[in-house]
Structure 1
Amino acid sequence: MADQLRNRLVDAILAERPVPADVERAMRTVPRDAFLPGLKLENAYTGQAVTIKDNPGKPLPLSCASVPSVVAMMLDQLDPRAGDDILEIGAGTGYNAALLAEIVDRGSVTTVDIDPDVALHARTRLNATGYEHVTVIERDGLLGAPENTPYDRIIATVGVWDIPATWWDQLKDGGRLVLPLRWRGQTRAVALTRHGDRLVSDGMELCGFVPIIGQNGEKTSPLNADDTIRVHYDEDQDVDPDGLAATLQTRRPALEAPSAQRVGGEEPFDGVWLRATAGDDRVCRLEVTSKALEQELLRRPAIPVRSPVLVDGNSLAYLTITREGADAERSFRLGAAAYGPRAEKLARDLVAHIDAWGSNRLAVPQMVITPADYVSTTGHAISKPESRIALTY
């Protein structure tokens, strides 16, 4: 029964996107249910994430088993090969480490987790499924695992806001790093290859992951007394939460500006956010709860829990989507809703980002990451304590 469910899950993943033969083989071999004891067999083979440890008082769990299709996608990005030495940051259930062990064969897999319960779970389940040779270390993942360096591949299965210098030191030149990188309120699985002091991307995919413990560069501020409207931003951004809150409290109607871009009901438009971050340091994330929407505290954002927003002092403009013409192939129009004294300029700038995305909707930028102290002649970059990120279209 487990074999049938496992193969059905892999078939469903392959129907959505191809993966390399060795990744497919590993996913048909490793029993995901064995890493999720206590879960109903059929639930272990659905396209869902599974929480393995809660994080009391926090909106996200401390650790979870990732969605299987995302696991397959990131293994495809990593491109592990037989004989490779792999470092995984975030042990989770141990399942991903087992998949890697199947793929690298004569190579090695080291997985690190800061939480003792999570590390013990991974160690126990790996032992029970015949992967005793995988090294499990209870440690802050930001430190990596220098005792088994250098690595051909490093993969992070937790959201990373900044790339620590320790990972640079432990990755071979020419090696690959795949991680859910967080910047300007969004998270994308980015595949990078090291070329000396540069990490150069060759792909990125939208994703969501529990953030790594120990990086505090992302901030969250409520914009109303009920904490039902929030702005998420990076520490280098000039955000005035009190001023934004005062602006929204006036309850004035939004200034609305439509773009020239229309989308179909299932057509993704997350590329607007990505495009905007390439050169605009005002991009943040707006989160609006269902309660705030019911109270009509502001115009509905395109995706209430995570919409891109431009913030300038006490003014903001965020992405909206409006139904126009039910019979049209693309019956939804993207636009901007803005509040505050600089509402008109912010709305105009956001519409410009939308239209820039619309000129080539499938375009993916190249990301180049360098150490923070690296002297570069490239243009706009996002500076973090340990790294510098540049995006180019």
Structure 2
Amino acid sequence: MSQTPTADQLRNRLVDAILAEHRMPAAVERAMRTVPRDAFLPGLDLENAYTDQAVTIKDNPGKPLPLSCASVPSVVAMMLEQLDARTADDVLEIGAGTGYNAALLAELANRGSVTTVDIDPDVALHARTRLNANGYEHVTVIERDGLLGAPENAPYDRIIATVGVWDIPATWWDQLNDGGRLVLPLRWRGQTRSVALTRRGDQLVSDGMELCGFVPIIGQHGEKISPLNADDTIRVHYDEDQDVDPNSLAATLQMGKPALEVHSAQRVGGQEPFDGVWLRATAGDDRVCRLEVTPQALEQELLRRPAIPVRSPVLVEGDSLAYLTITREGAEAERPFRLGAAAYGPRAEELARDLVAHIDAWGSDRLAVPRMTITPVGWASTAGHVIGKPESRITLTY
């Protein structure tokens, strides 16, 4: 009879599985093999504690996303690699969650300090309790709005956010050392990327970004969501600086006309990512938003199926829109799926062709990632496409 695997065995098996798919620095690997994730998720069975998936620790009644959760372990490892915390670093974490990530940070910065902040008293208490129970009493846990940071322990060599951030508050600039690193799930134009940034005087300059998804931080309201039909089964997500008229878009979709479709020259395999299309488009086009289509809308065939129904890039202008599609063409081909655009409204053809141009630009160098430079409001931006936010300016260049 086979024996039930122990927590240590399951933890090492999980780390081995992550290593088989993703690179991981030796220090991060040691930390993930050391810290018992199950101890920060009491009540969850061991198998689920060591599965590469997120775990909700506090629901958010009436909202589509939980208030707090334990992040996917492979994403945790990826962000820790981006952070590159050193043994003597002073580290600030925004979003305490279970306390697990703070424990990993304490292993990495074992001769420095770790401070973690969370706005929710239950979440902060859970993190404090679990950290104490597992030998991490030296980690500072503060119940506070994460947008304020933790000036009492500043300055920091590393700041990491484990919640989605739409704008970088001035307080974080004040608390990050020059030469220090900031890693955060940054939200713009409907997408979220874990961006690794190094402070160089009055600039934060990126050296990497990865697709991710995180619960948004409480207190930032620059992202808008509007229904495009009476049943609220089709929605557009956009930023406050974008010129979006949901009523006009809804009227266009209600006309029930078939989509105008334009195919690109770009094909992808079944497991080949194409999220770079969205990223590429945001580096020069302020019309990029996110389209969300629920299963109910798809069943009713209210519009042509988007590439990824819950989140696809869409160009919006006036009463017209064009969004990303994927069409299967030939099961035997190495890349059997063709990318394209479906569009509605008076400017459908123009928008569809503009989106296809973004797809083809991505296709010319599929692994290219833009350089992101962020400056505080009031400071001069560098050359490139600028996205303005209340407290910062984001510049993207390829």
- Normalising by the smaller structure, the TM-score range is over 0.9
Kept in 1, the 8 Å contact 2:189–2:238? The answer is yes
Looking at structure 1, the residues matched to 211 and 89 of structure 2 have their Cα atoms a distance apart, in angstroms, of: 26
Looking at structure 2, the residues matched to 379 and 274 of structure 1 have their Cα atoms a distance apart, in angstroms, of: 15
Counterpart code for 2:69: C
Kept in 1, the 8 Å contact 2:384–2:396? The answer is no
Matched position secondary structure for 2:79: helix
Which of 351, 356, 363 lines up with 2:356 in the alignment? 351
Counterpart code for 2:81: D
Alignment of 1:245 with 2:244, yes or no, is no
Looking at structure 2, the residues matched to 269 and 30 of structure 1 have their Cα atoms a distance apart, in angstroms, of: 34
- TM-score with structure 2 setting the length: 0.98
Structure 1 residues 302 and 72, CA gap change in structure 2 (3 angstroms): same
Looking at structure 2, the residues matched to 260 and 16 of structure 1 have their Cα atoms a distance apart, in angstroms, of: 29
- Cα RMSD, aligned residues only: 0.5
Alignment of 1:229 with 2:227, yes or no, is no
Counterpart code for 1:306: R
1:65-84 matched pairs, under 5 angstroms: 65-84=70-89
Equivalence for 1:319: 324
Looking at structure 1, the residues matched to 378 and 236 of structure 2 have their Cα atoms a distance apart, in angstroms, of: 30
Task: Report deviation, 1:377.
Answer: 4.8
Equivalence for 1:198: 203
Alignment of 1:173 with 2:175, yes or no, is no
Unaligned runs of 5+ in 1: none
Which of 287, 291, 294 lines up with 2:292 in the alignment? 287
Counterpart code for 2:234: I
Structure 1 residues 377 and 81, CA gap change in structure 2 (3 angstroms): closer
Alignment of 1:277 with 2:285, yes or no, is no
Matched position secondary structure for 1:272: helix
Task: Report deviation, 1:210.
Answer: 0.1
Counterpart code for 2:75: V
1:374-393 matched pairs, under 5 angstroms: 374-393=379-398
Structure 1 residues 265 and 377, CA gap change in structure 2 (3 angstroms): closer
Equivalence for 1:186: 191
Cα shift readout 1:300-329 (whole Å, capped 9, x = no counterpart): 000000000000011000000001111111
Task: Report deviation, 1:376.
Answer: 2.8
1:1-393 matched pairs, under 5 angstroms: 1-393=6-398
Matched position secondary structure for 2:280: helix
Task: Report deviation, 1:133.
Answer: 0.2
Matched position secondary structure for 1:102: helix
Cα shift readout 1:314-366 (whole Å, capped 9, x = no counterpart): 10000000011111111110000000011010001000000000000010111
Structure 1 residues 317 and 276, CA gap change in structure 2 (3 angstroms): same
Matched position secondary structure for 2:286: coil
Cα shift readout 1:175-200 (whole Å, capped 9, x = no counterpart): 00000000000000000000001000
Matched position secondary structure for 1:381: strand
Unaligned runs of 5+ in 2: 1-5
Looking at structure 1, the residues matched to 263 and 171 of structure 2 have their Cα atoms a distance apart, in angstroms, of: 46
- TM-score with structure 1 setting the length: 1.00
Cα shift readout 1:92-148 (whole Å, capped 9, x = no counterpart): 000000000011111000000000000000000000000000000000000000000
Structure 1 residues 151 and 377, CA gap change in structure 2 (3 angstroms): closer
Looking at structure 2, the residues matched to 313 and 95 of structure 1 have their Cα atoms a distance apart, in angstroms, of: 46
Looking at structure 2, the residues matched to 379 and 9 of structure 1 have their Cα atoms a distance apart, in angstroms, of: 41
Matched position secondary structure for 1:190: strand
Counterpart code for 2:119: I
Cα shift readout 1:257-285 (whole Å, capped 9, x = no counterpart): 00010111111000000000001000000
Looking at structure 2, the residues matched to 320 and 37 of structure 1 have their Cα atoms a distance apart, in angstroms, of: 42
Looking at structure 2, the residues matched to 355 and 173 of structure 1 have their Cα atoms a distance apart, in angstroms, of: 38
Task: Report deviation, 1:378.
Answer: 1.5
Looking at structure 2, the residues matched to 100 and 384 of structure 1 have their Cα atoms a distance apart, in angstroms, of: 30
Looking at structure 1, the residues matched to 276 and 111 of structure 2 have their Cα atoms a distance apart, in angstroms, of: 39
Counterpart code for 1:263: V
Counterpart code for 1:206: L
Counterpart code for 2:126: H
Structure 1 residues 377 and 70, CA gap change in structure 2 (3 angstroms): closer
Cα shift readout 1:57-86 (whole Å, capped 9, x = no counterpart): 000000000000000000000000101000
Equivalence for 2:3: none
Looking at structure 2, the residues matched to 372 and 357 of structure 1 have their Cα atoms a distance apart, in angstroms, of: 30
The number of aligned residues is 393
Counterpart code for 2:201: G
Report sequence identity in percent: 88
